[in-house]
Structure 1
Amino acid sequence: MTSIVLVQPEIPGNTGAVGRTCVALDMELILIHPLGFEISDKRVKRSGLDYWQHIRLVEFGSWEAFMADRAPRGDQMFLFEEFAARSFYEPDYPADAYLVFGRETKGIPEPILAAHREALVKLPMRSTQVRSLNLANTVAAAAYQAVRAHL
């Protein structure tokens, strides 16, 4: 099963919308703490609508705890970063991929990026007027691309 990993998300509405995408695609949602909100925040559930109860949610206290528990293979990891050299269209995503996204304001913390440079991918932008997309939109695009070969 493909998993969406949000590292220290800050905006509850984005996390709720990502959760809805996870339900739609039968994916697990992994949240890496600290969060910028309480998971019980009504804004999270409102964005997830009545789907929130169906989300396969797993939380970890830190990136290190996630890595220790899951021990993902190198070919499972895809870290989405706007400055990556490789397009997210290039990889062949395994069915058990981890799609990793960072905070809305700062992205994935630098120590994590440094440890996984070979796993960096980006959504290509055709316009120079846009630096990045909303986190929920980016996750949706990436999730559908990752599962395309497995549908």
Structure 2
Amino acid sequence: MPSIVLVNPEIPPNTGNIARTCAATETPLHLVMPLGFELSDRYLKRAGLDYWPYVDLHIHQSIEDFWQHAQAKGGKLIGYSAKATAVYTQLTYRRDDWLLFGCESKGLSAEVLEQCDVVTTIPMSDRRHVRSLNLSVCAAVGLFEAIRQTDNSLEQSDKRA
């Protein structure tokens, strides 16, 4: 299963919603410090509901710590950015991929994007009025495309939406 990586997330409910998606899909969630909130934040916990015990959660003290972890595990680093030109559906995903998403206010830094094997975007029809999609939406869209390509077990399971 690909992993979701949130680099310096700022808004607790977004991270909570992503954690809930990770619990539902058995996807590892990696949080790269610093965070814009405390892990004990009530809004984070409320958005994740009672699913937190089912989240395969990994905390990295810095981006350098995450790079070392990812390098040891292998896999392709896929950065998501509104500024990219490659569309996320045009990629070929693998089960060991890392799906990287940046903080809500700035996205992934240029330094992080340079370390990625590929940078992709989720296209929008009109960027004059909307700068970007919500972080939790982007993580879900990217993750479910990766799951669609690499693992059909969710399609075979009891569907409850």
Q: TM-score range by the shorter chain?
A: over 0.9
Q: What TM-score, normalized by structure 2, do the two folds share?
A: 0.88
One-letter identity of the residue aligned with 2:63: W
Q: Hey, what does 1:54 align to over in structure 2?
A: 54
Q: Hey, what does 2:2 align to over in structure 1?
A: 2
Q: Hey, what does 1:124 align to over in structure 2?
A: 123
Give, in angstroms, the shift of residue 115 of structure 1: 2.9
Give, in angstroms, the shift of residue 2 of structure 1: 1.2
One-letter identity of the residue aligned with 1:110: A
Q: Percent identity?
A: 39
Could you tell me how far apart the structure 2 residues matched to 1:83 and 1:101 are? 13
Could you tell me how far apart the structure 2 residues matched to 1:90 and 1:40 are? 38
Q: Hey, what does 1:24 align to over in structure 2?
A: 24
One-letter identity of the residue aligned with 2:13: G
Q: Hey, what does 1:98 align to over in structure 2?
A: 98
Q: Secondary structure at the match of 2:89?
A: coil
Give, in angstroms, the shift of residue 69 of structure 1: 2.0
Could you tell me how far apart the structure 2 residues matched to 1:27 and 1:63 are? 20
Deviations 1:43-86 (A, max 9, x none): 1110001111111100001111011122064x621100001010
Aligned residue pairs, count: 149
One-letter identity of the residue aligned with 1:91: L
CA RMSD across the alignment = 1.3
One-letter identity of the residue aligned with 1:69: H
One-letter identity of the residue aligned with 2:8: Q
Give, in angstroms, the shift of residue 18 of structure 1: 0.2
Q: Hey, what does 2:110 align to over in structure 1?
A: 110
Q: Hey, what does 1:42 align to over in structure 2?
A: 42
Which structure 1 segments of 5+ residues have no match?
none
Give, in angstroms, the shift of residue 32 of structure 1: 0.1
Taking the TM superposition and a 5 Å limit, the aligned residue runs for 1:52-91 are 52-71=52-71, 73=74, 76-91=76-91
Give, in angstroms, the shift of residue 109 of structure 1: 1.5
Could you tell me how far apart the structure 2 residues matched to 1:80 and 1:60 are? 19
Could you tell me how far apart the structure 1 residues matched to 2:131 and 2:48 are? 26
Could you tell me how far apart the structure 1 residues matched to 2:76 and 2:34 are? 23
